[in-house]
Amino acid sequence: MSKVLSLHHIVFGTKRRIPAIVHAEREHLCRIIWALLKDEKCYLYRINCVPDHVHMLIDLNATKSLSEVVGRIKSKSSNWIKSSGKYPLFDAWCDGYYAESISLAERDAVIDYIKNQQLHHADVGYEAEMKCLYKKAGLIWHDMDLY
């Protein structure tokens, strides 16, 4: 039997970065995404939502592709959000997503980073955060990224 550890920090936002994730329903949305990840046989280490985006750290199932899993999570959670009627400003998720593979040594730091998103975003906006993550990963930011 193969043993694979494939840790990924994933971030995706609302279309046009609209603050559509209602605070009172944030935990419910996280539980829906968690259930969807379980259906994909991916392990969720941590998830957190702020008004305009979601962060999660997962162990990707070795038989799945990252793009397929993220696509299904975004599609199915979007359908649930729209049918729930609890997120009136939500139109869709942005077209893309950000993901970085991380090492086991980085896992706890990323978990803490995701856990503390509300504190982090008291000082730093979504776009500034993403530009920093892109730079750290050696990626080039384009204004239409994650739009």
Q: Answer whether 45's CB lies under 8 Å from 107's CB.
A: yes
Averaged confidence pLDDT in the chain: 94
Find out whether 128 and 49 touch, Cβ atoms under 8 Å: no
Query: What would the pLDDT profile of 39-86 be if each residue is shown by its tens digit?
Result: 999 999 999 999 999 999 999 999 999 999 999 999 999 999 999 999
Query: Is the model's pLDDT at 146 over the cut of 80?
Result: no
Facing residues of 46 across strands? Answer: 57
How do residues 101-115 score in pLDDT, each as one tens digit? 999 999 999 999 999
Res 121 pLDDT > 90? no
- pLDDT on residue 126: 87
Separation between Cα atoms, residue 53 and residue 75, nearest integer Å: 15
Cβ 50 vs Cβ 129: under 8 Å: no
Give 147's pLDDT tier (boundaries 50, 70, 90).
confident
The correct answer on CATH 3.30.70.1290 for the domain covering 7-137 is yes
> Which pLDDT belongs to residue 86?
94
**CA gap 65, 68 in Å, rounded:** 5
Cα gap 67→140, rounded to integer Å = 19
> Is there a contact between 146 and 130 (Cβ–Cβ < 8 Å)?
yes
pTM for the model: 0.93
pLDDT tens per residue, range 13-47: 999 999 999 999 999 999 999 999 999 999 999 99
